[in-house]
Amino acid sequence: MRKKERALKVIDILKEKFGNPECALNYETPFELLIAVILSAQCTDVRVNIVTEEMYKVVNTPEQFAEMPIEDIEKLIKSTGFYRNKAKNIKLCSQQLLERYNGEIPQKMEELTELAGVGRKTANVVRGEIWRLADGITVDTHVRRLTNLIGLVKEEDVIKIEKELMKIIPKEYWIDFSHYLILQGRDKCIARRPKCLECEIKLYCKHGEKL
């Protein structure tokens, strides 16, 4: 089966299962989403939501983060891991937003990725979630793992995976495709204890084909 045909089969199955998927990170403003995605690096969405639920009661705007001592930001986000680097990026990103964009989140990919702590993955999430804009496909650990298992890619580098997927996945699914694989990765294709026999897409997976 050709890769594009395989991808479309998987999309059809997961679309029926998950419907219109939503971002797992909790937020009320584009800036809150941006900060949450920065915090999600090497951290679970569940943990990020726990941290931001309390943090956003205290500080949730570029102005507040820009003025807050970096040590205080570190204390608020410590449990997300790599907190020193994340705190530095959050403070600098907030300052950049105020200096360059009057505190607003820019829509353009090249402008977003020039902000501290914002790479293509973060920019893809924010643009797709806030404006339904897609210049690429978000590749997190679930997407990397499942696309290799499904046989769409044979890569570990997220940039190479994204480029390959953009050739295979129709653009109208660039945003939702990542959501589908993330949700399936949490529900059935769990890294340490996959539920292969119950998996809806097992027929299109390297493991499932052996069952």
List active site positions: 121, 140
The b-or-e profile of 116-150 (16+ CB within 10 A means b, else e) is bbbebbbbbbbbbbbeebbbbbbbbebbbbbbbbb
Largest CA distance in the chain: 57
Distance of CA 20 to the CA centre of its chain: 16
List, as one string, the DSSP characters of 12-81: HHHHHHH-S---SS--SSHHHHHHHHHHTTTS-HHHHHHHHHHHHHH--SHHHHHHS-HHHHHHHHGGGS
